[in-house]
Amino acid sequence: MSRTRYKVSRSVRNERLFMRKGSDVTRFLLIGTALSLAACSGGKPEGNEAARQGAPKPAAPSPAEPVNAAAPAPGPQNLSSKTETFEFSYKWPAEDAAIPDLSAWIRSNGEKMRAQNEGEAKSDQAEAKKSGYPYIAHSYDEDFKTVADTPRILVLLSDGYVFTGGAHGMPFTTSILWDKAAKRRLATKAVIDVPRLTTVAKARFCAALDKEREKRRGEPVSQDKSGLDEFSKCVDFARDEILPIAKGTKAEALDTIRIVIGPYEAGPYAEGSYVIDLPVDAALLTAVKEPYREWFVAGK
């Protein structure tokens, strides 16, 4: 189940009209007057020309200022800090930052994670000092990616890693489902009937998991093989991260159910997390709750 915590032109043109229509008599009078004035002054308006030549040239007009220029679209966001005790990094993409309500929640959640994990780091440091053993700095890293951006829903999945001074850190994932019309977060269980999904998808899921295990181990999965017998059985994915994603090229609808299984559940730590994608078909569509079925598309 989901552990919800988380884009002017200007032109200025001036025109003047220098002549207008009039009678022939008017035009003749104007021409005659102009010739007489020219003869009296020797035919050259020297004084006027000199005045014009000596007059300063008007300054070129400055470009018009933009009116109601659109604010630049926000880019990827990052909360980060580093001390001797604790290192923190928390990122989310531009698609999320462009939605104020969602970005505000993600930022708030990031600050919460920072405060919580930094507090634990300081506590462990104090305990280490008290007990006389060396303290190893803790770290927290979480990076959200967009895995679906359809007209109706935005789905995010984080790739996280937390280290608290042990032999190694632990990876984790967090998903966020954002209803664009309602402007709110949705839990996976609000969209998907998880018990129904585990029933209709079990056979497909187990087969896909064993195929991935075989790829990583270099040999077929055997139920009676010693050593890895614990990691040869199918797992109950109802307790894992389940989320809908869009893998189609046009991304107009959700078309896949993704299941993310952490270390020590489907395999040893060295095998890392398992990601199993199940394309939505008619059977899987029955596990989607009625109000949200139109958000999905089922393949053949």
In a domain, 9, yes or no: no
pLDDT given at position 222: 75
pLDDT given at position 153: 96
CATH code for the domain in which residue 134 is found:
3.30.565.40
Q: Could you tell me the pLDDT band of residue 197, with boundaries at 50, 70 and 90?
A: very high
pLDDT given at position 299: 80
pLDDT given at position 24: 40
Choose the final residue of a domain: 143, 159, 186. Answer: 186
In a domain, 207, yes or no: yes
Choose the final residue of a domain: 138, 162, 186. Answer: 186
Task: Domain count for the chain, please give it.
Answer: 2
- The span from the CA of 13 to the CA of 76, in Å, is 40
140, 126 contact by CB (below 8 A): no
The count of other CB atoms within 10 Å of the CB of residue 74 is 14
Q: Are residues 116 and 168 in the same domain?
A: yes
Q: Are residues 120 and 213 in the same domain?
A: no
Q: Are residues 198 and 100 in the same domain?
A: no
In a domain, 14, yes or no: no
Q: Are residues 210 and 267 in the same domain?
A: yes
Q: Are residues 196 and 287 in the same domain?
A: yes
In a domain, 86, yes or no: yes
- The span from the CA of 154 to the CA of 141, in Å, is 22
Q: How many CA atoms lie within 13 A of 143 on its CB side?
A: 5
pLDDT given at position 275: 98
pLDDT given at position 32: 41
Residue matched to tokens 């056979």 = 203
Q: Are residues 176 and 255 in the same domain?
A: no
What average pLDDT does this structure show over 255-278?
96
pLDDT digits (tens, 9 = 90+) for 65-88: 554 555 666 789 999 999 999 999
pLDDT digits (tens, 9 = 90+) for 212-247: 999 999 998 876 555 557 899 999 999 999 999 999
Q: Which amino acid is at 125?
A: Q
Q: Are residues 193 and 287 in the same domain?
A: yes
Choose the final residue of a domain: 158, 186, 214. Answer: 186
| Residue 149, domain extent | 74-186
Q: Are residues 228 and 295 in the same domain?
A: yes
- Asked if pLDDT for residue 137 goes beyond 80, the answer is yes
User: Which range (10-19, 228-237, 262-271) has the least confidence?
Assistant: 10-19
What three-state secondary structure class fits 65?
coil
Q: Are residues 181 and 191 in the same domain?
A: no
